[in-house]
């Protein structure tokens, strides 16, 4: 565990998806106005997650990877080893943030982190997440989905570090047919999930803390 400005960062290592999801719900339900915000860093065994608006037609074919229907926004995505997942348990009222502003700050933090590795990334207001150009074509390098309950968030952002991307071919990633996905390793950046999380968490925490400045 480490601390960033007003936010506790917990490195969970590899964790079961559903167990971690239920823990996020329990943390959010139990928190009070005095509860410190937290960022959880983890990676999961292979799993597809289908958001509240998710439609089964975006699951193109069965390949044996389990599918979990969850309570975040968005459509379908894939989590697996080699992908950094940051779960964001944040009190929006205390941070003085609306959901859209928070999403933009999360995207900006990931973009700043990628820039340190000479990867030029950008967000798209019409399609939350972080994108890059690779071989002259757009590809998604990080996906984002949140749930807000009682003014507090959980779920978060997943950044592809060094993973097997082939399971994305069996879905329409984030509900977009033909959407390409990529990862840091495709740009020659070799980094463990743990190291990537240790670098990104303080950047995100700083971006979020800026909203509280007078």
Rounded to 5 degrees, φ, ψ at 65 are -80, 130
Predicted confidence at residue 189, as pLDDT, reads 96
pLDDT, average across residues 128-152: 94
Looking at the chain, which runs of residues are DSSP E strands?
A: 2-4, 7-14, 37-43, 47-50, 67-69, 76-79, 83-91, 121-123, 130-134, 137-149, 152-160
Rounded to 5 degrees, φ, ψ at 209 are -65, -30
Predicted confidence at residue 147, as pLDDT, reads 95
**Tokens at residue 122, please?**
């950008």
Catalytic residue among 174, 184, 196, 201: 174
Specify whether 174 is catalytic. yes
**Tokens at residue 15, please?**
């964790």
> pLDDT tens-digit profile of 162-177?
999 999 999 999 888 8
* Banded pLDDT at 102 (limits 50, 70, 90): very high
Predicted confidence at residue 211, as pLDDT, reads 65
Q: State yes or no: pLDDT of 185 exceeds 90.
A: yes
Predicted confidence at residue 54, as pLDDT, reads 84
Please give the residue range of the domain that contains residue 62: 2-212
Residue 156: CB atoms within 10 Å: 24
**Count of domains for the chain:** 1
pTM: 0.94
CATH of the domain at 195: 3.30.930.10
């Amino acid at each position: 565990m480490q601390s960033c400005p007003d936010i506790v960062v917990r490195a969970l290592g590899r964790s079961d998806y559903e167990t971690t999801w239920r823990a996020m719900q329990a943390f959010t339900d139990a928190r009070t106005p005095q509860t410190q915000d937290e960022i959880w860093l983890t990676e999961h065994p292979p799993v597809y997650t289908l958001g509240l608006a998710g439609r089964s037609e975006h699951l193109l074919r069965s390949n044996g990877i389990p599918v979990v229907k969850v309570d975040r926004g968005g459509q379908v995505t894939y989590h697996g080893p080699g992908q950094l997942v940051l779960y964001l348990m944040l009190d929006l009222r205390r941070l003085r943030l609306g959901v859209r502003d928070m999403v933009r700050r999360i995207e900006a933090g990931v973009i700043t982190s990628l820039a340190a590795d000479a990867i030029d990334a950008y967000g798209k207001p019409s399609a939350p997440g972080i994108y890059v150009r690779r071989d002259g074509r757009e590809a998604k390098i990080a996906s984002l989905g949140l749930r807000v309950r009682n003014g507090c968030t959980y779920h978060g952002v997943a950044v592809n570090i060094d993973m097997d991307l082939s399971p994305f071919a069996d879905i329409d990633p984030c509900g977009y047919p033909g959407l390409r996905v990529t990862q840091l390793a495709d740009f020659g950046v070799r980094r463990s999930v743990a190291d990537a999380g240790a670098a990104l968490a303080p950047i995100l925490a700083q971006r979020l803390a800026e909203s509280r400045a007078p």
